[in-house]
Structure 1
Amino acid sequence: MRGRRSGSLAQDLEEQLSRWAERTGIVVEIWALPGGDAPPRVARAVLATLGEALANVERHSHANVVSIAVTLSDNGLRMTVSDDGVGFSGPATGRGVIAMQDHFADLRGTLTVNGVEGEGTTVTGAASRRGGRF
């Protein structure tokens, strides 16, 4: 994702989620979206991470519903993508997981992927602002 459209991060997320849900038939629940705009590098990291997470849901989870929460405050960024799919046991591996972790590492943040076999998977990313910046 080199460029960024002129919309807000929330608008960009809603558009990405709407297109994905329409294409896959998987229901998307939006629990929270950021109220303000984000710096371009933060927006790129969030949108790219969401794209990877949704690709994993589509390829591996057999989910019926995916729930999304993205919040941005003076303290930092939090992102959660949770599905009701097949889940997994053991550590999360693969190119998609590494890519998502790299996107959050670029923001000096962390990202974890946790699965519960038969219950689904949750991707959680967090990045704190330090000195007002990521």
Structure 2
Amino acid sequence: MSMLPRKHLPKTLLIIAPSLYQCSLTAREWGLVPGEIENFRNVTRAIQLRSITPGTPYIGMDMGQWSATPEGRDLYDVVDLMIRTCRIRPLRDDELANYRAYDGVPMRPIAPSPATAPRAAFHAR
């Protein structure tokens, strides 16, 4: 654990998936190295989302396929509710560097957002 005072540490990152294997795949997909990430929590069951601080960032992958099992459906329903009530929020691309194990190269394509894309991309027509 880092020796920084608590107020300087990023919020705990939730890696949400129906199994630990899928949590590992999700972390890799986001460019995080499993086993070296600080300030994270794997969430594989809905009950593990108790007492989450509002605004906690999360990453997840293939959420539409979670309903293949009853436990996955419960997890999907609770995550959906927590997103709608702003208890959890998607991790922003610019926050990745806050987590120690980020290797700088996410495997997933990152679509430019209006805040991060060059201005010329929006005016070129």
State the TM-score bracket (shorter-chain normalisation): under 0.3
Report 1 or 2 for greater relative contact order, CA contacts < 8 Å, sequence distance ≥ 6: 2
Structure having the higher Rg: 2
Greater strand percent: which structure?
Answer: 1
State the TM-score, normalized to the length of structure 2.
0.27
State the TM-score, normalized to the length of structure 1.
0.26
